[in-house]
Amino acid sequence: MKANARLILAVTGALALLPGMVAVIIHMPAFGRHPLPYGDAINRGAPVERHVTNMVTAVNFDYRSFDTIGEEFLLLAAVTGTLVLLRGRRGEGVSDAAARADSRPIRPPSEAVALTCRVCVPLILLFGIYVVLHAQLTPGGGFQGGAIIGSGTLLLYLGERYRVWKRLIHPTVFDGVEAVGALIFVFAGLAPMAAGAKFLENTLPLGEMRALISGGLILVANAGVALAVAGGFTLLFLEFLEETRAMKPGEDP
């Protein structure tokens, strides 16, 4: 399809959707005046029943945690499928040199970039850990913190180049991190059943409100998600960056 035809098709589709978008915007309730009772029920019940102050975490890892474990394994399946497609002969017949674009040389990072990355890597990792640990208290959680930690590893590549990245980011280790995270979430559901409770029923001590150790089983499920997301994101970045490597002379692409 030609560029002009694609543009016409996109504009036509946007114009067709525009009346519906306008109708939705006009009929949206005012901020804070939603018509459904569920948010108000969670806001009333979660602090008393689960000793947490972040209602989103209470919903994700307790009230609808069965749905969350399904989402976790969707992520695991998506990462696994991507790795199967990309991994191929990774590490075999591939040089340390980056592939060139239009014969342009790949310049090494400047000292300023290297220094900035070295300073920011520990700060980003610490912030990611903070977001994970405070999931039951403030906005954030295992998904967000795991994504921050996984994304922070990219600075190793940007600041230290490929050789250091390759030496520090071992796929076997992060395969294990992702798998352990998923298993922790599963065991968080099975362990209560061993004690005669329901799957994923919160049977651990809830702790005190606004304390770092509070929420009971929420902490365990949240930690499992954090490990799985951090490991999955890092593996994806690893495989995508491997795609930038140049083949050795004489190797088939």
Going residue by residue through the chain, which has 253 residues, state the pLDDT in tens, using 9 for 90 and above. 788 889 999 999 999 999 999 999 998 888 877 778 888 899 999 999 999 999 999 999 999 999 999 999 999 999 999 888 887 655 444 455 555 555 666 677 788 988 999 999 999 999 999 999 999 999 999 999 999 999 998 898 888 877 788 888 888 899 999 999 999 999 999 999 998 999 999 999 999 999 999 999 999 999 999 999 999 999 999 888 887 765 555 444 3
Which pTM value belongs to this model? 0.81
Residue 38, domain member (yes or no): no
| DSSP secondary structure letter of residue 195 | T
Residue 3, domain member (yes or no): no
pLDDT per position as a tens digit, 113-157: 889 999 999 999 999 999 999 999 999 999 999 999 999 988 988
Residue 130, domain member (yes or no): yes
How far, CA to CA in Å, does 173 sit from each of 51, 65, 84, 177, 250?
35, 27, 17, 6, 32
Q: Which domain holds residue 119?
A: 53-247
Residue 47, domain member (yes or no): no
Residue 234, domain member (yes or no): yes
Residue 10, domain member (yes or no): no
Residue 21, domain member (yes or no): no
| DSSP secondary structure letter of residue 108 | P
Q: How many domains does the chain have?
A: 1
Residue 201's contacts (CB-CB under 8 Å, 6 or more residues apart) are: 192, 217
- Find tokens 């902490």 and name the residue: 219
Residue 160 CA to its chain's centroid (Å): 24
Residue ranges of alpha helices (H) inside the chain are 3-27, 38-50, 55-58, 65-87, 111-133, 142-152, 154-168, 171-194, 217-242
Residue 222, domain member (yes or no): yes
Q: Which two tokens stand for residue 203?
A: 């049977």
